[in-house]
Structure 1
Amino acid sequence: MADATEKHKDVGAVVHALRILQHLADAPGPLGVAAVARETGISPSTCFSILRTMARARFVSFHETDKTYTLGLAVAELATGLIGTSYLDLIRPEIERLALNHNMLIALWRVTEDGHIVVIDRAYGEHVVRVDMRVGSRLPFLIGAVGRCVAAHLDLPPAELRRRFTTLRWQNPPSYEQYEAEVAEAGKRGWTKDVGYLYRGITTVASAVVDQAGTPRFGISGIAIQGQQTPEQIDRLGEELRDVARYLSRALFPQRQPALSAIAS
């Protein structure tokens, strides 16, 4: 008969993964594979395989520029309310990855209570020629690509949406009918774009991060000089922005689980 220690032997790969996560949590900054392997006592090849697996599952974030790792968003999804990391710290690896993969400026916007969107972070692709949005830049929250996504989630009555539309200032204004149709489209597919309307010669693609009530809290947008990306590249970015925004919504604002008594009843 097997003894108790043999019967309940720990799984080595799981032990290694937990040790790596704990080490990354205690580290003062991002770490490379060699440093993680050395400091955890795990072989470099095993450490690399585990880190890559956890990166695909978003338990760690891989930083392409310096080949280092930090804790990822899935950790927050498991332990929301127990961690002290700010939303900005958690979202930044995602916008950096998007910027590098799509070679454009990726901006993170906060939706404010006074009806604006404000740039709170941004990351750049590798193009020499690029547009920029200063951190702190502020716009009405229904304008541009982010604004269409915000409007889709607010689901305003048509008369109120039209009233607010008349107060917006665009360099190349769309008609209200076009704007309304694009808001509806943003609601259906989870992302939308602005091609030269908010700013002439600038294409913006965006999606919105929402809380448990469906209220938009953040916007994520890709911003590029018009014509730098093909329509197919813009659509691929839009779909990835939608997927990232949905993931962030689940991770940062998880739905509350029903009480056991409610399930039983």
Structure 2
Amino acid sequence: MDSTDVDAPNDNNKAASVVTVKPVVNAVRILRHLSQVGSPERSVDIARQLSINPSTCFNILRTLVVEDVVDFNPMSKRYSAGAGLARLVEQLVTQGQRVQLAKPLLQNLAAQQRVTVTLWRRVGPDRIVIVSSAASPADVRIDMAEGQRLPMLMGASGRLFATQVNLDDPDIQANFERIRWARPLSFTAYREEVRLAAERGWAMDDGHFSIGILAVAAPVYSASGSIDFTVSAVMFRGQRDPEGIEELGAALIEFCAEVATVLS
């Protein structure tokens, strides 16, 4: 399956019209500089080397100190990369490593169930992305590319993430209306499918995401009870009868409880 056929509209236009925020750019430049030099520096020296207005540089540094990603020594009046920055990087690396550890589990599930299995993660307030994918070894299979991004509400996984947002929020409803469904459905029908997903513990998208494709997904809960990941089984419509879909949903719930020990 070509991911460009199912992604949200206007992504290319958004990428082409990205507006940079100068204070954010300068903050990143300062963090990169402090990480590279490896020794504490004064605000005026940092400002001079990076060609940043001294007052602006000082204010950015003070903010980064408050956010615990830069350390300040009041005796020497010098700044250095903080422990908070190291912890942030460590968390990102660890998450990537954990996703890699989950890959063999996804491959085993794909082979056992003869479906394509995808691991989705929520990124930002309104998008989800495939962070890992394993195709069935069957001759005819569906390929889902890692890195594919979708609106958060879309697909079987979207219905699970939707259980943790307020569907009465006008912004959520507006996001739903902007989605390009292959087989359109009303917001009322969507809400009922979200309610059903919350009740039984797994969700289904029957051809709305892509014509001819059926997906069943279950949530991977974090220790706090939030849904950070979902696991989705993707197959052709008609590949399983209703009883087989129910069995797959139950299998995914069990699998997600197992994979949560790797991802959390």
Q: Take 2:166 and 2:221, find their aligned partners in 1: how far apart are those partners?
A: 13
- The 3 A distance-change label for structure 1 pair 155 and 241 is farther
- For residues 211-236 of structure 1, the C-alpha deviation after alignment (integer angstroms, 9 at most, x for no partner) is 23332211211111111222222221
**Could you state the TM-score of these two structures normalised by the residue count of structure 2?**
0.59
- Residue in 1 aligned with 2:120? 109
246, 250, 260: which one aligns with 2:257: 246
Q: Does 1:236 align with 2:247?
A: yes
Partners of 2:167 and 2:191 within 8 A in 1: no
Partners of 2:216 and 2:232 within 8 A in 1: yes
Indicate the SS of the match to 2:208.
Answer: coil
Q: Take 1:108 and 1:183, find their aligned partners in 2: how far apart are those partners?
A: 19
Q: Which runs of 5+ in 1 are unaligned?
A: 1-80, 254-265
Q: Does 1:185 align with 2:196?
A: yes
- Residue in 2 aligned with 1:196? 207
Q: Which runs of 5+ in 2 are unaligned?
A: 1-90
Q: Percent identity among equivalent residues?
A: 33
Q: Does 1:153 align with 2:153?
A: no
The CA deviation at 1:114 is: 4.4
Query: Where do 1:1-265 residues align within 5 Å?
Result: 86-157=97-168, 159-249=170-260, 252-253=263-264
Q: Take 1:154 and 1:92, find their aligned partners in 2: how far apart are those partners?
A: 28
In structure 2, what residue type is equivalent to 1:139? L
- Residue in 2 aligned with 1:14? none
The CA deviation at 1:207 is: 1.3
The CA deviation at 1:155 is: 4.6
Task: Give the number of aligned pairs.
Answer: 172
The CA deviation at 1:196 is: 0.8
**Could you state the TM-score of these two structures normalised by the residue count of structure 1?**
0.59
**Greater mean deviation of Cα atoms: 178-187 or 152-161:** 152-161
Q: Take 2:259 and 2:168, find their aligned partners in 1: how far apart are those partners?
A: 27
Q: Take 1:87 and 1:113, find their aligned partners in 2: how far apart are those partners?
A: 20
The CA deviation at 1:148 is: 0.1
- For residues 181-209 of structure 1, the C-alpha deviation after alignment (integer angstroms, 9 at most, x for no partner) is 11011111110111111111100111121
Q: Take 1:155 and 1:90, find their aligned partners in 2: how far apart are those partners?
A: 33
